[in-house]
Amino acid sequence: MARMQKQISSALISVYHKDNLEPIIKKLNDLGVKLYSTGGTLAFINKLGIEAIAVEDLTGYPSIFGGRVKTLHPAVFGGILYRRDNNEDIAQANEHNIPPIDLTIVDLYPFEDTVNSGAAHEDIIEKIDIGGISLIRAAAKNHKDALIISSRDQYTELLEILESGNGATSLAERKRFAAYAFNVSSHYDTAIFNYFNEEEKISVFKNSISKQRTLRYGENPHQKGMFFGDLEKVFDQLHGKEISYNNLVDIEAAISLMKEFEGETAFAILKHTNACGVAVAKSTKEAYLKAFEADTLSAFGGVLISNTEIDEATALEIDKLFMEVLIAPSFSKSALAILTSKKNRVLLQLKNHPQDQAIFKSLLGGVIQQSANSTTDHKAGLSTATKKAPSTQEIEDLLFASKICKHTKSNAIILAKGGQMLSSGVGQTSRVDALQQAIKKAHTFGFKLEGAAMASDAFFPFADSVEVANKAGITTIIQPGGSKKDQESIDYCNNHNISMVFTGTRHFKH
């Protein structure tokens, strides 16, 4: 076991951020560790009244090319990489006067922050760390003999190790920090590649997200679940239990759906990523009640979302329902007082919804990726396929239904009227099945379908769907078109005074 312990006698410190570094410097000094440093870090150490050797004095070369080359020298990398149990390495180190470096502390240039700030290309390029990333890889490779601290996020753990081990580290500790280091370096390189690949479009899959949280479980209790990303950028959790894997999936679906209704007062209720109620109205309360009316059964345990503030009147109505999550841009004080009466109810204040440019998932031992479906059907993009054109109100109903249909599992049918979703047919193996499901559901909750609008996520392969719709009282239809037998559906609509428009855009969702 003694062989596994390594006493730190020297350290190289070269960091961008100096936050929380002071206690470590002081502890290393107390332990009698010889310090080497560069530039701003050296000045920081000296201000603490602690001596450190400039890397330039170690290498015999000044920092050159505007600081681009400081540590790239055999005296530095040799001190990190030479094997302490290899006689030939030891002899070469002695021959070339290369002192050992047992601890390397690096905090890389903030490349991602610089990109996100909107900085010019030239400034971004200067934030590509060369020496730092090389030091990280070198010390991590030689973790048998050296310890690498590759991020300021590791300072607290390092200080604990220095204090508990009195300056000695175990192989297990060095190996763990080496793993951290290669995670830092691979993430850094991925960020740089993805920046360049915005223009180059090299067809490879690279994605790296450092921030993570462990979830209670995955889709089911026997599955493990994790989320990689920064939820705090998206919303603030104001109240309730820990968010689950399934909650997150539904939250994403809810926010994506609600983005379709910018500029309107809208409310939606979702279950298993599908809307069971959506409505637009003059007030938040009215929108909620209309959405709830569409399916009072499925709303139980659902995820609710509003694109306007939840006021007291709306909160009083919502409080009558058992639900998992409520999302809104804001909550009035009185609304919060009402809604926080149930301890597990999750309340989320939406801040931002990152627009994913690409969507991917794992399958068959690999990954499939596609661009996001950012197309929303608009009036200007509609072409009337039938002799009868839809009225102004019918066009509003058709577009409203189409927005919901876009976010519904295929095969999907949405029935709507007057800014209210009446029912849906979701995830069926045939379009006729989806329509029949929607009709049955509408009747179950007391809706009459005379004059209702119907949206379909894909074309009708036969005229059977429009025939079923006509018999239910539906008078206007929106669909992508593109079937070889479109004319059969058009002819049926013409013969039965139904208006139908084509969008030219399919909205499959699996």
Q: State the catalytic residue, choosing from 175, 272, 353, 496.
A: 272
Q: Give the 3-state secondary structure of residue 321.
A: coil
Tell me the C-alpha distance between 339 and 314, whole Å. 10
Q: For residue 236, list its beta bridge partners.
A: 349
Q: First vs last Cα of the chain: how many Å apart?
A: 55
Q: Is 141 a catalytic residue?
A: yes
Alpha helices in 259-366 (DSSP H): 284-293, 312-318, 333-339
Closest-CA residue to 50 (of 34, 22, 29, 24): 29
Q: State the catalytic residue, choosing from 18, 26, 27, 141.
A: 141
At 89, the amino acid letter reads D
Q: For residue 35, list its beta bridge partners.
A: 11
Residues 6+ apart with CB under 8 A from 306: 258, 266, 267, 284, 287, 288, 314, 326, 327, 328, 329
Closest-CA residue to 12 (of 109, 111, 79, 68): 79
Tell me the C-alpha distance between 411 and 429, whole Å. 6
Task: Give how far the C-alpha of residue 322 lies from the chain's centroid of Cα atoms, to the nearest Å.
Answer: 28
Q: Give the 3-state secondary structure of residue 388.
A: coil
Whether the CB-CB separation of 247 and 235 falls below 8 Å is answered with no
Q: Is 206 a catalytic residue?
A: no
Tell me the C-alpha distance between 424 and 509, whole Å. 14
φ, ψ (nearest 5 deg) of residue 342 = -105, 120
Fill in the DSSP letter of residue 64: B
Tell me the C-alpha distance between 78 and 86, whole Å. 13
Tell me the C-alpha distance between 510 and 191, whole Å. 30
Look at strands 383-384 and 303-306 and give their pairing.
unpaired
The residues assigned a catalytic role are 141, 272
